[in-house]
Amino acid sequence: MPLIIDCKGYTYYDGKLIPNKPSRYTAEEKLFILDNHPFFTGICPQCGHKFEQDNLPVHFDCPNPECGWIDDSV
């Protein structure tokens, strides 16, 4: 049996380090999204608009016309 270790986007397979299939976001970008996406923060990452927590939209497009931030993560 080869040794397989899955670690941080790489798979250590039988002595070789192989990058996993490229995903749409890097690990850093995923963290950025987790830290900044209004789905998690309730706040527009661009202008600070607060989304209504009671009535969260499916797409968090910012309603502030001067901002225009669009949720492109879905």
Task: Tell me the per-residue interface mask from 5 to 44 with Zn ion, x by CB under 5 A, - otherwise.
Answer: ---------------------------------------x
Please provide the distance, in angstroms rounded to a whole number, between the alpha carbons at the two ends of the chain. 39
Residue 1 class from Cβ within 10 Å (0-12 exposed, 13-18 middle, 19+ buried)?
exposed
Question: What one-letter code names the amino acid at 58?
Answer: V
Report if residue 60 touches Zn ion, rule: CB under 5 A. Answer: no
Select the residue interacting with Zn ion from 46, 51, 61, 73 (CB under 5 A).
46
Report if residue 62 touches Zn ion, rule: CB under 5 A. Answer: yes
